[in-house]
Structure 1
């Protein structure tokens, strides 16, 4: 039975995809050091997390029933320690957190929260909404999160997973401060592997226990690419494209494989006149962390926004030049044509099967 369980609860857009893929890629090597990553047949813990927080996904709820209990059973089979990692756990309610801690008993539960400066989180969070078929403008999104006490959907969805004090007060309510760990995401330019090294320290592991680094990244889109995707989402919604088709074709192929990796337009940032607000948020987080006594792995200065170059021009994703949007659309269209050419035509596959069956009959 696992003596210690580390529950990594996010936040989203803080390198969680990278961390989870590296854990999965090195699962056997980590097990040699008595560190279990108890994923099931699906290869991740997304379904189990949805089951715990009782949230639907593309209209599905019942399909995830029992996944959390199955994860708990796998975790209990660990010999020494286990790591659970899924960023949607950040929005668990106090009652759901209590259930998680109770279900994992008698193991000693620790909570790990990866945190990045809010000036980088805001544009990344908006782009993530676009990747999930949303069409909200950047301006409306910014106004929706400006007041942390906002009761609107945008503000509520953002702060329940991104608000560091709020998340850790829920997840740490029954834990002593030494069992709550904040891992700060290094600033751009940090040495390669620094985030992984910090995460390993949080879960009492050594970075070299997991040498394979073929994990996926979840890169950001350029401004024009973001504007194009928002417009496309509106068209696809009116066309009635199903969520499963959208994820498979638009998000996985067009966005992740083409637009995010080949973006040539300026990257999206927080508006320059919003940095004072971002600094206030960062200082409030740093003050809360210091007063709480939780463990910090990294540097609290990593949470401070880096002021923009005063001479730099901020590009508004709601007002991108049409030719830039068209350029991004042509890149996406080219990728879709290439993808369609790689896939066999269903009619051709059926004809090939029929021809093969005919040849076998003639050979008899």
Structure 2
């Protein structure tokens, strides 16, 4: 297959949904400029998602890429590039990346990865996990990640990049600093279209706000509802969906909970900043030539103090009326109650590691 294929592999929480939705909506505009963003390759179980999440899904189970997609790509006019985008690509193992590479012989593959500054990334990933059913607190999650930073795909970008180098070669890697891209061009869509696609233009889309960050007190309400619903088990997005669907009729209950939780707002920043900067230096020792938008000093990120992340201290469970209010809200949402010991918010077991999630 003689074709330029751009594999945008994320990772999560680097503007992937916004980029995918914009490119999907601008398919005709892109095609006129020599760039194809296929409809094929999306996930059957996520029909509204604009990313090509079906491709990493089939790769993870060892299945081939969809034949209709490969045929469609092969029939494109000569000189057209293809963009395939999914943050789930970043979760593929080395063996799965090799399986993907074997299906694209002769293609000029470019692997695009945006590295986001750690103190911005960790709170955003944690909130996404909570949206999808997690009930681990932010301090516990941050400690789990920073306890072994080299083993964390969110702190050690080489964890992901090394797998793709093994499958496609070092020359395929196009590394960008997400933070520098936003400072340079204002948003990820503009940066991707100019820096990756080569001055391609698309019509702007109105921001629907579906994947914005939650306020810390709202994240805590959802976290505790997850705990009541799923106990210590990994949950799903059903609690968030139910809460958002019925929030209009429960304003008084939610406002009361927010008022009770607000005095317990706290802030913390990632620990061991020197360790994280050392990880950056180690990664750049290998990938410096792949980094296309470094700071003037040659770093991934501007050297500045780490930003503090806001969270709600779990002490509210012992020192306020929040457990009763949370149970009342849970009942009014008609959510199932986890049939396990310790499902009550007052128990709040937080020793279970948190798995990765998609944005």
TM, length-normalised to structure 1: 0.68
Pick one of 65, 73, 76 that aligns with 1:75.
73
- 8 Å contact 1:45–1:85 — kept in the other structure? yes
SS at match of 2:183: coil
In the other structure, the counterpart of 1:184 is: 177
The structure carrying a bigger helix percent of its residues is 1
- 8 Å contact 1:13–1:121 — kept in the other structure? yes
Pick one of 292, 301, 304 that aligns with 1:303.
301
In the other structure, the counterpart of 1:92 is: 92
Pick one of 203, 215, 237 that aligns with 1:211.
203
Structure 1, unaligned runs of 5 or more: 56-64, 151-155, 338-364
- 8 Å contact 1:16–1:86 — kept in the other structure? yes
Q: How many residues align?
A: 308
SS at match of 2:197: coil
Rounded to whole Å, the distance in 1 between the matches of 2:108 and 2:86 is 19
Rounded to whole Å, the distance in 1 between the matches of 2:165 and 2:117 is 21
Q: Which has the larger radius of gyration?
A: 1
In the other structure, the counterpart of 1:50 is: 57
Rounded to whole Å, the distance in 2 between the matches of 1:234 and 1:297 is 43
Rounded to whole Å, the distance in 1 between the matches of 2:309 and 2:99 is 49
In the other structure, the counterpart of 2:123 is: 123
Rounded to whole Å, the distance in 2 between the matches of 1:225 and 1:244 is 15
Let me know the Cα RMSD of the aligned residues. Answer: 4.3
Q: 1:128 to 1:244 in 2, by over 3 A?
A: closer
- 8 Å contact 1:160–1:166 — kept in the other structure? yes
SS at match of 1:303: coil
Rounded to whole Å, the distance in 2 between the matches of 1:135 and 1:285 is 30
SS at match of 2:291: strand
The farther-off stretch of 243-252 and 136-145 is 243-252
Rounded to whole Å, the distance in 1 between the matches of 2:194 and 2:87 is 19
Does 1:271 find its partner at 2:258?
no
SS at match of 1:231: helix
Does 1:281 find its partner at 2:273?
no
- 8 Å contact 1:183–1:202 — kept in the other structure? no
Does 1:172 find its partner at 2:165?
yes
In the other structure, the counterpart of 2:338 is: none
Q: Residue 250 of structure 1: CA displacement?
A: 4.4
Q: Residue 122 of structure 1: CA displacement?
A: 1.1
The farther-off stretch of 277-286 and 118-127 is 277-286
- 8 Å contact 1:279–1:305 — kept in the other structure? no
In the other structure, the counterpart of 1:342 is: none
Deviations 1:305-355 (A, max 9, x none): 74258xx896544345887979x97xx99xx89xxxxxxxxxxxxxxxxxx
- 8 Å contact 2:181–2:293 — kept in the other structure? no
Does 1:318 find its partner at 2:314?
yes
Rounded to whole Å, the distance in 1 between the matches of 2:190 and 2:172 is 18
Q: Residue 197 of structure 1: CA displacement?
A: 3.0
- 8 Å contact 2:19–2:189 — kept in the other structure? yes
Q: Residue 187 of structure 1: CA displacement?
A: 6.2
Does 1:25 find its partner at 2:20?
no
Rounded to whole Å, the distance in 1 between the matches of 2:294 and 2:100 is 29
Rounded to whole Å, the distance in 1 between the matches of 2:267 and 2:72 is 42
TM, length-normalised to structure 2: 0.69
Rounded to whole Å, the distance in 2 between the matches of 1:279 and 1:288 is 14
- Match runs of 1:115-264 below 5 Å: 115-148=115-148, 159-160=152-153, 163-186=156-179, 190=183, 193-207=186-200, 209-214=201-206, 216=208, 218-237=211-230, 243=236, 245-246=238-239, 248-250=241-243
The farther-off stretch of 72-81 and 162-171 is 72-81
Q: Residue 18 of structure 1: CA displacement?
A: 1.2
Q: 1:72 to 1:171 in 2, by over 3 A?
A: farther
Structure 2, unaligned runs of 5 or more: 335-359
- 8 Å contact 2:36–2:82 — kept in the other structure? yes
Rounded to whole Å, the distance in 2 between the matches of 1:320 and 1:179 is 50
Rounded to whole Å, the distance in 2 between the matches of 1:6 and 1:188 is 18
Rounded to whole Å, the distance in 2 between the matches of 1:243 and 1:100 is 28
Q: 1:308 to 1:204 in 2, by over 3 A?
A: closer
Rounded to whole Å, the distance in 1 between the matches of 2:202 and 2:266 is 33
- 8 Å contact 2:181–2:188 — kept in the other structure? no
Q: Residue 46 of structure 1: CA displacement?
A: 1.5
Q: 1:192 to 1:225 in 2, by over 3 A?
A: farther
Q: Residue 130 of structure 1: CA displacement?
A: 0.8
